A and B are shown apart, each in its own frame.
Chain A
Amino acid sequence: MSILVNKNSRVIVQGITGSEGDFHSKQMLEYGTNIVGGVTPGKGGQYAVDEKIRVFDSVEESVDQTNADTSIIFVPPPFAADAIIEASYAGVEIVVCITEGVPLHDMIKVKQVTNKNGTRLIGPNCPGIITVDECKLGIMPGFICKKGSIGVVSKSGTLTYEAIDQLVNVGLGQTTAVGIGGDPIIGTTMRDCLELFEKDPDTEGVVIIGEIGGQMEIEAANWAKDNMSKPIAGFIAGQTAPPGKRMGHAGAIVSGGNDTAEAKMKVLSDCGISVSESVADIGRIMKSLMN
């Protein structure tokens, strides 16, 4: 078991003929992801990714023809919202949007649509999901993962890789790693992922990686306090970030009083999560919780 995606996921790639879509489709196929089709409006009927994958004009057509249930989006920011909404109305269950730079006002509307249709959206501006040895959906380097019992959920890409690497170094493999993205509005929250990991019989412990800005880590911690039976190790990036400065991610900005790293670390701790002060201790702390 795992969460969100597995070897049975039937994946379409939106924006498959673009350079990003092409490059990462190859990587995903190599990892074993079951890509059943691609979508680029106007290029229906062609074959992409070394002539291996059939391209459709619309998500609806691709779903009709291939029974796809999962989509990954590599389209440029001006068209990303449209792509998500299209996938949602075509009945795709899980939509992962890698695109960085989707306008905020677009995402506010997108979120209403995905909520209404019951679409599980991951991202935007995220590295995607990987269920180890089964399905890689996004841009994460698959080779760093090892199959095991730890779930990982993170707002940041490379920091997720760092955590996975540390887990492997202490002998802990992973079930699924989810990069949820660092934008102010994202599809799937940290709390959503904790709920899924709690229900997954193969996941025995979870690493959560947050950062400054917003209340997502606090909501997740408060939920975990009352509902989570599995141990959680946590880390919050941005202890040295000055207020009012956006640290790369659109959502990583300290604006109020309780969205600092310090405030979040305290709430996590109070809710029973083992918080790592140093990024270098994430693996070690998870290991000690599993013993």
Chain B
Amino acid sequence: MSSHKFENKVIQWLDDRLPIFSVLQHDAIDYPTPRNLNYWWNFGSLAGIMLVIMLLSGIFLAMAYTPNVNLAFGSVERIMRDVNYGWLLRYLHMNGATWFFVVVYIHIFRGLYYGSYKAPREVLWWLGLIIYLVMMGTAFMGYCLPWGQLSFWGTTVITNLFSAVPLVGDAVTTWLWGGFSVDNPTLNRFFALHYLLPFVLFALVFLHLVALHTTKSNNPLGIDVKGPQDTLPFHPYYTIKDLFGLGILLMFYLGFVFYNPNYFAEPTNYIPANPLVTPPHIVPEWYFLPFYAILRSVPDKLGGVIAMFGAIVIFFFLPWIDSSKVRSATFRPIYKQIFWIFVIDCLVLGYIGSQPPEGIMVPLGRVFSVAYFAFFPLLWVIGKLERPKPLPQSIAAPVLKGSHASHSDKPKEKA
């Protein structure tokens, strides 16, 4: 990267001492990107932009927020009513969490579909999962801060999960609370951590990018880049494509902010927290619902907690569970089908998680939870049995050797 020479003497002088311009040139402009990335590849950069929007709106909200059990609810309402554009900042932050998760979920499932977790991208995949876990922690603690009924009871229920840990469970829960129930110390530390973790996320995203630019991007064909004819410089081809995608995302996101800001919110959280009255129906935010359904499906406290955390932890082993050498589902007819079944399974689990655990929902929850975990051993078996379609020789010339060329899925998305 030191080979790059800049015309501007000042830039060159600075770059010789701190290579920010070389790095930018190398990683944001010249970065050789597979020429066949489709729109599903937009969601990584969109997630990064959502993180920045959340950081910005959060920092300004923190300037008007008070983390005290007697004042928190009122301070949020003061933001909504009296702080200049406070309602906008608050709704941006609140709906931003939703759209951040939408974007990240699509990003994760894209990786799953195109086999982006396979060698040599295992560490890249791990970093992504760690980002996802930290995001969930951050979102959970953020939901506590307005100190409404669901803030309080959601925090109570989720922190009680840790009491399932044998021997030390109660001690851990008391330590998390800083008392004998969710109270002012809990709110205070959740605020401190909710402010801290996004910066940890930012650092993790940086590592995620370093890992990405070391192994280079995967692509819809899942085959390796063979040479310069297979790539395009990141700028302007993918900068403009990402910006266009950003425009579309903002239309969805801001459409909700301005016209239905409480669509994803639960009305109950506009009732101030009351430690003596549990609301009849406690539901987490939608992005936790599938895991909540898995938790409730296991009729044992510790078992439920293990299943819920296991549902995420198992993804760390995915690069080794999947025994297929072919990355992209485009060339894996059976995997492609069970991938979509898995997606539908997650959506159904989400729906089940949103319903009261009564009647048909209980057995349904168990069936779909089992199906969730069955995906992983199935993946190993399929990798061994499946006969993948022939792979194209290169990205630039996706001419297939066999007769599949005419009727196989169009590997290159026409954008």
Q: Is chain B found bound to chain A in the same assembly? A: no
